[in-house]
Amino acid sequence: MTVRPRDVVVVGASAGGVEALRATAAQLPADLPAAVLVALHMPAGGTSALPAILDRAGPLPAQAARNGEPMEHGRVYVAPPDHHLLVSDGTVALSHGPTENGHRPAINALFRSAAVARGASVTGVLLSGVLDDGVAGLQAIAGQGGRVVVQDPRDALYPAMPEKALRALTPDHVVAASEIGEVLAKVTLELVEADSGPAPEPLRWENEIASAGRVGVGVGAMGKPSEFACPDCHGVLADIDHGVRYRCRVGHAWTAEALVAAQGDTVERALWTGMRALEEKASLCRRLAALARERRNDLIAGRYEAQARETIEAAEVLRRQMVGRG
């Protein structure tokens, strides 16, 4: 039987993740026999200071990932803004594929690609964050025989992502961020079977979407069409995982929890837009009332003034509802 080491480490983080990543990087051994790939949720525009932060934090050199470069042991590769970071056998890949849970880079995309490309050689690490990006990716890694490490929720600034992982699967290790380096030093010395067979078709199919290699898939081919619309493109979402995860025709992916959050944002934007429209209508009615008064048309002025009062009352009701939502 041919064996190989667990020499690929993929790390995902969101809110509070910089602190957790810094603590993890500080404790990584200088001779770590693995490549480390990092995806942190970040805005699409601008540049990221994360490579410099991690480069200073620990002994391993860290850099922004470049498409097609070989993965080397003892190096940290960081996803740049607005790109998925993916593992493609022995190289790093960058993709502008569809967002997942509204994010690019997405943690699930990184984890899933590593599971497909390297199977049991992968160790997935999930750190601080909100909602549940990364949980499905950890399940993919575990399903291919890889190791799973989760930051102890009590140690995380934002414990939601680690907590969701603990509910969905049984990690191999649950430790504070400052202890993850020591765990990885041991895990990366383990040997695994080199050829464990291809990943399941649904996993490979989703990885193709993230790498922008498969587009325009019919909703019916992905799963049962749902009654929900994609917050990104407003297309019909297909249920691809028994109500847990969804994808639209062009590939945007959502977990149920992230979809709820996105729909809440949409509702809030609509409410603020409605309130602004009411205030603008009231202002216009007052202006028309003033013009009518100047022309001595008191009847028309009174009508506009009444409309202004009614509109302001409606806006105040809406404003109270908005404050109550907070």
* pLDDT tens-digit readout, 267-323: 777 777 888 888 899 999 999 999 999 999 999 999 999 999 999 888 888 777 766
SS3 96: coil
Mean pLDDT of the chain: 91
Q: What is this structure's pTM?
A: 0.83
Burial of 68 (0-12, 13-18, 19+ CB in 10 A): exposed
Strand 253-255 to 173-175 pairing: unpaired
- Is the CB of residue 256 less than 8 Å from the CB of residue 264? no
Q: What is the DSSP letter of 48?
A: -
Instruction: Write down the number of H helices and E strands in the chain.
Output: 10, 15
Higher pLDDT, 202 or 148: 148
Residue 219 has pLDDT above 50, yes or no: no
* pLDDT tens-digit readout, 7-34: 999 999 999 999 999 999 999 999 999 9
Residue 325 has pLDDT above 60, yes or no: no
**One-letter amino acid for residue 96 of the chain:** H
Q: Which residues are catalytic?
A: 14, 41, 133
Which region holds residue 105: left if phi is over 0, alpha if psi is between -120 and 50, else beta?
beta
Residue 265 has pLDDT above 90, yes or no: no
Task: With cut-offs at 50, 70 and 90, classify the pLDDT of residue 324.
Answer: low
pLDDT for 217 equals 55
Residue 149 has pLDDT above 60, yes or no: yes
Instruction: Extract the tokens encoding 5.
Output: 């080491």
